[in-house]
């Protein structure tokens, strides 16, 4: 039984390592304030949907593949940021609403009520930043609580004051900040490449 638990843990860690890949990990304060463009890994908790799920047909051609989009506000204990989801990522988040929209047969929008229960849940994103754009495009995300916990433990533990835990939404929040800071470092901005301290994950993987 003990060996099974170890192998299971190693499999879960492997999934998180695969998700992070070679991308740089940033806290949101650094992601917002840096002049770097590219793809980064970041964690935050779900706050609210900005303006519903949108379905649009390219060139208003209803025979074409529909495109989906939803903007969602995420936070930590100090700041908030908008992440934008498209197509397959929307289908994962708004798994009921996208089907309803698709059955209408024309461009339309709808609020995804099924996402109300996500308030306070922590997500890990692989997001793309482009300078001059006030939101971040989500390429992939992790929402499974077990995998999120592993990410926080392995990549965002408070090592030498570089990273701090994501605060729970019930903690104090200040809306006066533009981007949130989860670090206590002097510069208020910490980044980290793929962790060198991850436990050995071996060759064990579990199905995705």
Report H helices in 107-176.
145-155
pLDDT band for position 32 (cuts 50, 70, 90): confident
The pLDDT confidence band at residue 140, using thresholds 50, 70 and 90, is: very high
Q: Where are the domains of the chain?
A: 2-192
Distance CA 75, CA 80 (A): 4
What's the mean pLDDT in 152-163? 62
Token pair for 121: 């849940």
Give the separation between CA 144 and CA 176, rounded to whole angstroms.
30
* Domain covering 2-192 assigned CATH 1.10.1760 in the classification: no
Q: Are 56 and 23 in contact (CB under 8 A)?
A: no
The predicted structure's pLDDT at residue 169: 56
Cβ atoms of 139 and 127 within 8 Å: the answer is yes
Distance CA 41, CA 25 (A): 5
Rounded to an integer, the average pLDDT of 153-180 is: 50
Q: Are 109 and 55 in contact (CB under 8 A)?
A: yes
pLDDT at 193: 55
pLDDT value of position 33: 81
The reported pLDDT for the residue numbered 1 is: 54
Q: What is the pLDDT of residue 40?
A: 95
If DSSP codes are grouped into helix, strand and coil, which group holds residue 55? Answer: strand
State how far the Cα of 16 lies from the Cα of 194, in Å rounded to an integer.
11
Structure confidence at residue 38 (pLDDT): 95
DSSP 161: T
> What are the residues facing 125 on neighbouring strands?
42, 141
Q: Which residue has the higher pLDDT, 112 or 77?
A: 112
Residue 63 has pLDDT above 90, yes or no: no
- What pLDDT was estimated at residue 6? 67
Rounded-to-integer distance, Cα 55 and Cα 51, Å: 12
Q: How confident is the model at residue 181 (pLDDT cuts 50, 70, 90)?
A: very low
Supply the pLDDT for residue 67.
96
- Provide the pLDDT confidence category of residue 175 given band limits of 50, 70 and 90: very low
**pTM for this entry:** 0.76
């Amino acid at each position: 039984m003990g060996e099974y638990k170890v192998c299971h843990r190693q499999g879960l860690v492997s999934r998180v390592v695969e998700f992070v890949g070679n991308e740089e990990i940033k806290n949101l304060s650094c992601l917002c304030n840096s002049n770097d463009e590219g793809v980064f890994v970041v964690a935050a908790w779900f706050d609210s949907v900005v303006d519903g799920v949108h379905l649009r047909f390219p060139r208003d051609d209803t025979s074409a593949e529909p495109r989906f989009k939803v903007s969602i506000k995420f936070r930590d204990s100090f700041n908030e940021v908008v992440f934008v989801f498209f197509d397959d990522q929307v289908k994962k988040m708004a798994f009921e609403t996208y089907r309803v929209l698709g059955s209408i047969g024309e461009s339309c929008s709808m609020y995804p009520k099924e996402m109300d229960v996500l308030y306070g849940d922590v997500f890990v994103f692989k997001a793309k930043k482009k300078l001059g754009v006030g939101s971040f495009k989500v390429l992939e995300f992790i929402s499974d609580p077990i995998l999120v916990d592993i990410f926080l433990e392995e990549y965002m533990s408070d090592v030498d004051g570089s990273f701090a835990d994501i605060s729970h939404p019930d903690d104090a929040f200040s809306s006066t900040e533009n981007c949130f800071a989860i670090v206590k470092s002097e510069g208020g901005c910490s980044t980290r490449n793929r962790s060198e301290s991850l436990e050995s994950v071996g060759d064990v993987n579990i199905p995705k």
